[in-house]
Amino acid sequence: MLTDFDRQLIAATQSGLPLVARPYDTVAAMLGSTGEAVRTRLAELLAAGVVRRIAAVPNHYRLGYAANGMSVWDVADEQVDRLGELLGSQPAVSHCYRRPRKAGVWRYNLFAMLHGHTRDEVLAQAEQVAELLGPACRAHDVLFSSAILKKTGLRLRQPID
């Protein structure tokens, strides 16, 4: 159950942390609390699974990475966790996750976003990853972005007045 402080904290951070040197202190000042209390409570909410992650979300296009592709991989199920860790540790990968297969429709069970300046650069990264994954990788493809999607985190429903 969320406390009133939790709801205020989530509302204050759901659009992102302030872009200042000490963002937790700034949030704390808005809530009449301390930076330490904000950090501690966010860590607890993270550990409890209420908050899934606290992360920077860069705009890769503004950073010059115009070719962004979701690489999809058909890897051995018994090795997907180990291979996902390996894939997620690569410099070109911003995020990596496991997804269920859909028999007869979708064979891929491991996804990783690759970023590059050109499509050829991203395709070369995918080939390097294929070599890294070795024989456990049965097939792969790269699905290139065609639009920039707005990323949002947790949102609390506003009370109806």
Residue 133 has pLDDT above 70, yes or no: yes
Q: What percentage of the chain has pLDDT greater than the value 90?
A: 62
pTM over 0.75: no
Residue 107 has pLDDT above 60, yes or no: yes
Residue 23 has pLDDT above 90, yes or no: yes
**The predicted structure's pLDDT at residue 148:** 62
Residue 156 has pLDDT above 90, yes or no: no
- Which residue is listed with tokens 């999809």? 72
**The predicted structure's pLDDT at residue 159:** 57
SS3 29: helix
Residues 60-98: pLDDT tens digits?
556 666 678 999 999 999 999 999 999 999 888 888 999
Q: Which two tokens stand for residue 52?
A: 């899934």
**The predicted structure's pLDDT at residue 114:** 92
Give CA separation, 101 vs 74, 77, 78, in Å.
9, 10, 14
- First CA to last CA across the chain, in angstroms? 22
SS (H, E, C) 35-61: HHHHHHHHHHHHHCCCCCCCCCCCCCC
Q: Which two tokens stand for residue 41?
A: 């409570």
**The predicted structure's pLDDT at residue 63:** 64
**The predicted structure's pLDDT at residue 14:** 84
pLDDT band at 153 (very low <50, low <70, confident <90, very high): low
